[in-house]
Amino acid sequence: METEMRIWGTNVGCVFILAAILFSTSFASDKGLIVGRVMDKKTGEGLPGVNVQIENTVLGASTNLHGAFMIRRVPYGVYTVKISMIGYQKRRVNNVNVSRDDTAFVIVRLEETPIEIDPVVVTASKWQEEAANTPATVEVMTSKEILQRNPVKIEDALETAAGVQIIQESVNIRGSDGYTRGIGSRVLVMLDDVPVMNSDFGAVNWFMISPADVARAEVVRGAGSALHGSSAMGGVVNFITRDPQPDSRTYVRALLGVYDKPYEDEWDLNKFQNFHRQDFTHSRKIGNLGMRISGGRSQSTGFTEQGEFERYNLSGKFIYRFPNASKLTLFGNYMHDDSDVFIRWKNQKEATKVPPAELDKHQTQTGLTLFTKYSLPISSKAAIEARAYFNRFLLGTQVTSAGTFAPALGLGGSIQGNLIPFPSVSIVYGSDFKFDKVESDTSLYGNRDAILAAPYFQLDWQTLRNLNLTFGGRYDRYEIYSDPQARFKEGRVYDHFSPKFGINYKPFEGSTFRASVSNGFKFPVVAQLFLEFDAAGFTFRASPDLRSEESWTYEFGWRQTITPTWFFEINGFYTEVDDLIEVLIFPNLEAQFANIEQTQLPGIEFVTNGRWWDNRLGLKANFLYMDPRDEVQDQLLPYRQKFIAFVAPSLRLGSLEFQLDFKYASAQEVYLLSSFPQLVPQKVLDGRIFYYFGNHSFFVGVNNIGNYSYTLRDESLEEIRNFVAGFTMEF
């Protein structure tokens, strides 16, 4: 009770601080109006859904069906208006004069661009800012980039991002995670700023995210704990879903794929193997209410035994805009997954088969996410946002028989304030809170409740016209309560303060240098501490004495814009981690999470993206070299590669576009099963052809053109060659 009162007091105190600061920025008595229209430069047609923001204020608007917008309650003065939209070059309109005697008018024509050199992001600082102004390394993947990968699973599209490697359901950013079947992920995955991590395993619920529903994905590389907390020690992936459109619009996508025979004849299962996926979205606006509903279904026979699955998800997003410029957002998502599962293959000569004990193993996973968000501008210089969410995930059946886990429940929220006290200073501050409830048989981890409270702040100071400084920090307190009936009865309490400092310097037009020092941390989750089970010949032991991880990351980056459609960047980083939590497997096939006292992850990465020849020729490429090392054992960390590269040229000729993707990852030098032979490099070439007609497209493609056989984890074959075809329609 005393602990609960301390946490309650912390959050109530944060609320009062927020209220005091926000309401101290009183309304200006003299206010005017900015109205305008945003059009396509080529066609002259109005552009709906354009983001219009008044610089150095929290005021803004979105354009309607005809490209028109109106910003009310603007204090008298002279402003710069920023206008941005995905797929178009940003514009700034200077010297917009808001006066007592006249309405300010802004007419803008935006030009399409194949590459957004400096996109607007929200994840790096928890509010909208241009990526070039943040000290963090941020990459934005647009909806077009994601869908052109023809993903059946959303995580497959992430592999084009620099420094990202997906090993089954574990996402690695710069070698952060290795492979743990997703348990205790060090990369925070969010949907519209709401975590989609289950409360017991700390794993990502990928299946609830439909590729067709995503407007963009923001990937923040490096420690994000100073704003986002424990799960962000390795980075953040934030999927931003599409807002409802002003006009009635429907989007349909379907694809069908067929697996080829494996490279080795003895691996052939002699059956027709295929996969398919269908997605739809519908959006419209009625008065001040915008609505968007979407759904997706995917099914596959798999290319191995026990590879079959069927999944579907449904979601709805509703946005209501009030006359006082405030906005209420409601979102709901439900997912269902029926899958066959296995842990390891039968043997290398029968890599597509599984041991007899693994046959007929099946899991059913479900997930429900609900969240609401209310945003209110208090004045031109201050705004407040309150968010609440509820997660209900049943993901535990992947390790043992069904019925032994109850759904993991997570109830959380936040209250956040944005304040611009001076034109050169902006402040983000607030508090996150969460209550977790997880239940299982006492033979697994028992019944555990947990509570989190975490106030945070960040200050950005433009000391000179071309120099920005960033200071921030977050304090997390996480308590897991005891269970008198469980084998390990005791609870656990963890707390940590994570500071950060960053600098962003633009000495010349198109040149940005950035540097940062940030502290990260990761609390062990319930499954890492208390879970015990037997599966596939392994005996997994609990680790109740795990310590939390702590890291320091030092980073320097240079980003150079060469032309309006071509840039490159070079980033160097060095991360030290104390008490890294990794899985150890002993010769008797017992496994257990354990702390590694000292590890380091130094590296350098190069990224470039460009289009030339009137947008006909394109190239996206990134290269990462790192040395993730266990300092105690003086060896590489398991499931990490030293070198990862991705190269994707493309050619657009009229209505046809040709694309190639090549992904390379060097062979892992350390693996957990000592009897398993050395893993080989990943060398995968994919190709696609698109035909565009109006708002529709048709595509065909081949994945793993060379039918290259490789593994990324012990005793599990990666995807063999497959052929895919499909279409998209928008009307």
For residues 638 and 688, the model is more confident at 688
Q: What confidence tens digit (pLDDT) does each residue in 53-79 have?
A: 998 898 888 888 888 888 888 888 899
pLDDT surpassing 80 at residue 118: no
Share of the chain above pLDDT 90, in %: 53
| Maximum alpha-carbon separation in the chain | 83
pLDDT surpassing 70 at residue 134: yes
The DSSP element (H or E) to which 527 belongs, if any, is helix 526-530
Q: What confidence tens digit (pLDDT) does each residue in 223-282 have?
A: 899 999 998 999 999 999 988 888 888 999 999 999 999 999 999 999 999 999 999 999
Confidence (pLDDT) at 156? 86
DSSP codes, 326-359:
-EEEEEEEEEEEEEE--SS-SBTTBTT---GGGT
Confidence (pLDDT) at 246? 81
Q: What is the DSSP-derived secondary structure letter of residue 488?
A: S
Confidence (pLDDT) at 319? 94
Range name among 29-38, 381-390, 466-475 with the lowest pLDDT average? 29-38
pLDDT band at 678 (very low <50, low <70, confident <90, very high): low
Confidence (pLDDT) at 675? 57
Confidence (pLDDT) at 677? 58
Confidence (pLDDT) at 20? 41
pLDDT surpassing 70 at residue 191: yes
pLDDT band at 327 (very low <50, low <70, confident <90, very high): very high
pLDDT surpassing 60 at residue 690: yes
Backbone angles phi, psi at 9, to 5 degrees: -65, -40
CA distance 684 to 370: 38
Range name among 155-164, 395-404, 541-550, 633-642 with the lowest pLDDT average? 395-404
CA distance 478 to 491: 11
- Spatial CA neighbour of 477 closest among 505, 463, 497: 497
Backbone angles phi, psi at 179, to 5 degrees: -140, 120
CA distance 80 to 590: 63
Share of the chain above pLDDT 70, in %: 93
Q: What is the DSSP-derived secondary structure letter of residue 86?
A: T
722 strand-pairing partners: 259, 703
Confidence (pLDDT) at 133? 84
111 to 40, 47, 564: CA distances (angstroms): 6, 11, 11
CA–chain centroid gap for 112, Å, is: 26
Q: What predicted TM-score, i.e. pTM, was given to this entire model?
A: 0.91
The burial class, CB within 10 Å (0-12 / 13-18 / 19+), for 493 is exposed
Sort residue 360 into left (φ over 0), alpha (ψ -120 to 50) or beta.
left
CA distance 355 to 346: 5
pLDDT surpassing 80 at residue 611: yes
CA distance 22 to 37: 31
Confidence (pLDDT) at 169? 78
Range name among 206-210, 361-365, 532-536 with the lowest pLDDT average? 532-536
Q: How many CA atoms lie within 13 A of 667 on its CB side?
A: 8
Q: What is the average pLDDT across 401-405? A: 56
Structure tokens at 621: 């490429």
pLDDT band at 599 (very low <50, low <70, confident <90, very high): very high
Confidence (pLDDT) at 19? 44
Domain annotation for the chain: domains and CATH numbers = 2-110 (2.60.40.1120), 120-730 (2.40.170.20)
CA distance 35 to 44: 18
Helices and strands, number each (H, E), in the chain: 5, 44
Confidence (pLDDT) at 676? 57
Range name among 122-131, 569-578, 659-668 with the lowest pLDDT average? 122-131
pLDDT band at 3 (very low <50, low <70, confident <90, very high): very low
CA distance 22 to 20: 6
Q: What confidence tens digit (pLDDT) does each residue in 480-536 have?
A: 998 888 778 888 999 999 999 999 999 998 899 999 999 999 999 988 898 887 776
Q: What is the CA radius of gyration of the chain?
A: 25
Confidence (pLDDT) at 26? 42
Sort residue 101 into left (φ over 0), alpha (ψ -120 to 50) or beta.
alpha
User: Do 296 and 227 contact (CB within 8 A), yes or no?
Assistant: no
pLDDT surpassing 90 at residue 102: no
**SS3 annotation, 235-303:** EEEEEEECCCCCCCEEEEEEEEEEECCCCCHHHCCCCCCEEEEEEEEEEEEECCEEEEEEEEEEEECCC
Mean pLDDT of all residues in the chain?
A: 88
Confidence (pLDDT) at 674? 61
List, edge to edge, every strand of the sheet that includes 31-40.
Answer: 68-75, 31-40, 104-110
Q: What is the average pLDDT across 527-554? A: 86
CA distance 524 to 580: 10
User: Do 580 and 595 contact (CB within 8 A), yes or no?
Assistant: yes
